[in-house]
Structure 1
Amino acid sequence: MKKLFLSFFSAALMLSATQAQTIDKIAAKVGSGIILQSDIELQYAQYIISGQPPSPSAKCQLLQMQLTQKLLAQQAVIDSVQVKDEEVDADVERRMRTFIARAGGQEKLEQFLGRSVIQYKDEIRPDIKESLIAQRMRGKITENVNTTPQDVRNYFQSISKDSIPTYNKEVEIGEIVFQPKLSKEEKAFYREKAEELRQRVKKGEDFGALARLYSQDPGSAPEGGDLGFFDRQQMVKEFTANAFKLKAGEISPVFESDFGFHFLQVIERRGEQVHARHILIAPVITEASLDRTKKTADSVYRALTTAPKFDFSSAALFYSDDKETKYNGGMMLNADNVQTRTTLIPTDKLDPQVALVVDTMKVGHLAKPILYTDQQTGKKTYRILYLKSVNDAHKANLEQDFARLKEKAMDMKLTKTVSDWFDKRRKETFIEIDPEYRDCEVLKNWITPKVTAQATPAQ
């Protein structure tokens, strides 16, 4: 499957590179700016690479996006809206990290592109800069938009009775997660195992062969431990600290990360990127460590149920090993709506192990520590669950769902504000679109009508 994806990725990017060289007609004119057909083709290739199905209408939508970007960018010049070079550089680097990861390394990406990553960065930088400026201009257009309680009521009253949404049963759940930890003596076994392999490499045995046989990193072991090129942001801090202080050919000491015990060898350095390979020895959690973890969890549970001043939020901050929830009072976030950071989670979206326990709980109560097994990794943890609230399935109403309705009312105001702005700007700006796109439904309102001068008949 991976080979199929990489072949498709290669074909798409090589196609876009060829098209960029051969297609240079103007797809659209927007005021003083132009949009080239090659720009659309390149974006379409990236659209396909992202996993979207081929679609003729996609090019229509991509051109519409380019048109909106041009209008916003041209207004940004008038309003002196700018972005810093550092912001552009950061976004370029973020996108390149994604492309490199999808291609399977920098070298493979450069083969696919037919040019160096540095050249490609230079090519995409102007468009990314314009895109960031357009985003900032859009923010300026909507910066003074706000929503009052009356706006929310008006929005709710505008919804026909048949269209009022129904919300499933939702719960707010807190958790304190206890991860089993090995003792120094237990860890020593795995550190020594990694050190033995390191010494075998230093004595001349083939690094790649040993990685294939012994490394417990499923992603890199089949490749002889090869990780390809990576930068400082792509790896855990312990890995980065070792990789970026070694020269090509050098081997690191054994070091520990959240994944286990590693050692690595740097193959090549390219500026702020390193090509390295590694061997990982992942410790196995013992029954003794699970028993120790259960005792800790039981102790915290007793304190929460007997000590009046020991509240759940404080206990989560102090004891929980889950970095995502411990700083949020222990409350789980709705994974399908992370942007709003809502803690209301539909019961049908809960992990089955959690749902089974929560189903028997009363609001405001704690459940005794449960042994939880992650279905993807197989890792075991103990968890104390707290049921903060329950919202039964219901039709939307202002009393229970004001926050959600306010969000929708705000979205509607923002959309209208931006839409009104574009309607006005389109009428004030000369826009010409190539005949190839004249049948695009989404572009019908973008073409400036041509005015034909006619003689006035004599009266």
Structure 2
Amino acid sequence: MKKYLIIALLFVSNSLLAQKKVIDKVVAVVGDNVILQSEVDQQYAQYLVQGTKPDPGIKCYILQNMLSQKLLSQQAVIDSITVNDDEVDEEIDRRMRRSIANAGGQDRLEEFLGRSVLQYKDEIRPDIKEQLVAQKMQAKITEKVEVTPLDVRRFFNEIPKDSLPTFNTEVEVGELVVYPELTKKEKEFYKDKAEALRLRVKSGDNFGTLARLYSQDPGSAADGGELPFFDRQTMAKEFTAWAFKLKEKEMSPVFETEFGFHFLEVLERKGEQVRARHILVIPETTPASLDRAKVEIDSIYKKVIDKKMDFSTAASLYSDNNDTKYNGGMILNYESSNRTTFIPTDKLDPAIFLVVDTMKVGTYSNPEVFADARGKKGYRFLYLRSKTPPHKANLEQDLPKLKDAAYETKVNKVVSEWFEKRRKASYIKIDKEFQSCDVLQEWVTKPVTAKE
């Protein structure tokens, strides 16, 4: 059974290169839609930009996914599945932020593209919209797929015993984090810095230029501080309060969130969504604030070690990491659809692995300084709740993973059957150049012979 990984391969277009579409050779026809050679070449160029080795054979897979996208988008019209402009804008902005970061800045990206970012956004908009529609259509096809415990058991029993996968060592790890808090006096310098930038904007300096030069938000600085449309649940509460209070073209005073000191300007409002730009100044940790954090975490650590408080309670009460504190401090495996706490050691943060690798189950590491993904320093100590050695898959230990695998198999079967039915009911023509592709054999219309 073939797997139609339409969404995974289809969205290879997060990379940088784009070429203007021209009228050229038609390499495929699906219903009323055509696919041009230039479109295939464009996605192949994007594939190469990601640093992969040249492989002309990948064009076969690119065309397969483009064919799949056309079938999905055509069915979406029939089923009245659409995406709104805000969804398209958000996806385009997300991809452009990644592209700008990969290119090393907006100016370098524009130089590479040979056009402005705004022009490029307009060019890719129709493709992005069709991709999002196809994604929604595939989600509808599989929305009723579910697996029962009986399905999982049947799936497991159908795996030949000599083909059972071996799982690496897995651990359950908890963390309790304390970040330094600056005093009002220590924060004053950074607040004044943000205020000075705000006054420059009010005096006529370009907001976007100042954001590119001075904003410390890595996700928006390169784009002049601009953010995609967001609702009231997306941003920090202080940010949301100002964004929804101001009118278009109005600018906020300097205000503080958990990330630092900001000021923002509202660019556009659409109902319950706002598009804004902002400048962020992040206060730096001081030696004194780190010393205070050390005293605090040592106190918490002693309570846990002396069994005056269990780890889960301590993490819920005192940890500054909101991603783990509400889960009793336990780190989740986000690669699993079940968000399990069991994490393969090869998927663990290397800095955490180095610590827990020598720990015994049920013990705690000493509080140590660390830096999070944003570079923010703090103190943390770790708790090793369990450690499962490498083993052959079994229902007792690996039910969540087997459930994921059973679900994926069921989804692939449903999608495959859908495509099989749609291919037979649709007019599809593929250019001779691609008819030799193995992955496209099921798409090639076989000529009817006299005997048939």
- Superposition TM-score, scaled by structure 1 size: 0.73
Cα 1:199/1:85, change in 2 over 3 Å: closer
Please give the alpha-carbon distance, in whole angstroms, between the structure 2 residues aligned to 1:218 and 1:96: 15
Q: Which one has a bigger Cα radius of gyration?
A: 1
CA root-mean-square deviation: 4.6
Match in the other structure for 1:342: 340
Following superposition of structure 1 onto structure 2, how do residues 9-408 of structure 1 map, counting pairs within 5 Å?
A: 12-13=17-18, 16-17=19-20, 20-21=21-22, 23-78=23-78, 80-86=79-85, 87-103=87-103, 109=109, 112-115=112-115, 117-188=117-188, 228=224, 230-231=226-227, 282-286=283-287, 288-304=288-304, 310-334=309-333, 337=335, 339-351=337-349, 354-355=352-353, 357-359=355-357, 361-363=359-361, 365-367=362-364, 369-374=366-371, 380-408=377-405
1:174 is displaced (CA, Å) by 1.2
Q: Deviations over 1:43-89 (max 9, x none)?
A: 223323333333211211111001111222223333x2412324334
Match in the other structure for 2:410: 413
Please give the alpha-carbon distance, in whole angstroms, between the structure 2 residues aligned to 1:198 and 1:129: 36
Letter matched to residue 392 of structure 2 = K
Please give the alpha-carbon distance, in whole angstroms, between the structure 2 residues aligned to 1:430 and 1:200: 61
Check the 8 A contact 1:169/1:393 in 2, yes or no.
yes
Quick check: 253-262 or 299-308, which moved more?
Answer: 253-262
Q: Secondary structure of the residue that 2:326 maps to in structure 1?
A: helix
1:389 is displaced (CA, Å) by 2.3
Cα 1:95/1:36, change in 2 over 3 Å: same
Q: Secondary structure of the residue that 1:83 maps to in structure 2?
A: coil
- Say which of 409, 425, 428 aligns to 1:428: 425
Check the 8 A contact 2:246/2:252 in 1, yes or no.
no
Q: Secondary structure of the residue that 2:330 maps to in structure 1?
A: coil
Q: Which consecutive unaligned segments of at least 5 residues does structure 1 have?
A: 1-8, 204-209
Check the 8 A contact 2:106/2:223 in 1, yes or no.
no
Q: Secondary structure of the residue that 1:325 maps to in structure 2?
A: helix
In percent, how many aligned pairs have the same letter? 51
Please give the alpha-carbon distance, in whole angstroms, between the structure 1 residues aligned to 2:33 and 2:355: 60
1:114 is displaced (CA, Å) by 4.9
Please give the alpha-carbon distance, in whole angstroms, between the structure 1 residues aligned to 2:215 and 2:140: 50
Please give the alpha-carbon distance, in whole angstroms, between the structure 2 residues aligned to 1:33 and 1:196: 55
Please give the alpha-carbon distance, in whole angstroms, between the structure 2 residues aligned to 1:199 and 1:123: 36
- Superposition TM-score, scaled by structure 2 size: 0.74
Quick check: 406-415 or 225-234, which moved more?
Answer: 225-234
Cα 1:409/1:232, change in 2 over 3 Å: closer
1:192 is displaced (CA, Å) by 6.5
Match in the other structure for 2:10: none
Cα 1:448/1:400, change in 2 over 3 Å: same
1:449 is displaced (CA, Å) by 1.3
Cα 1:370/1:291, change in 2 over 3 Å: same
Letter matched to residue 403 of structure 1 = P
Cα 1:256/1:26, change in 2 over 3 Å: same
| Paired positions, count | 426
Letter matched to residue 162 of structure 1 = D
Letter matched to residue 437 of structure 2 = C
Please give the alpha-carbon distance, in whole angstroms, between the structure 2 residues aligned to 1:373 and 1:177: 9
Higher relative helix content: 1
Please give the alpha-carbon distance, in whole angstroms, between the structure 1 residues aligned to 2:172 and 2:374: 25
Quick check: 101-110 or 174-183, which moved more?
Answer: 101-110
Q: Deviations over 1:372-406 (max 9, x none)?
A: 33398775422232232222221111111111112
Check the 8 A contact 1:81/1:137 in 2, yes or no.
no
Quick check: 441-450 or 133-142, which moved more?
Answer: 133-142
Match in the other structure for 2:207: none
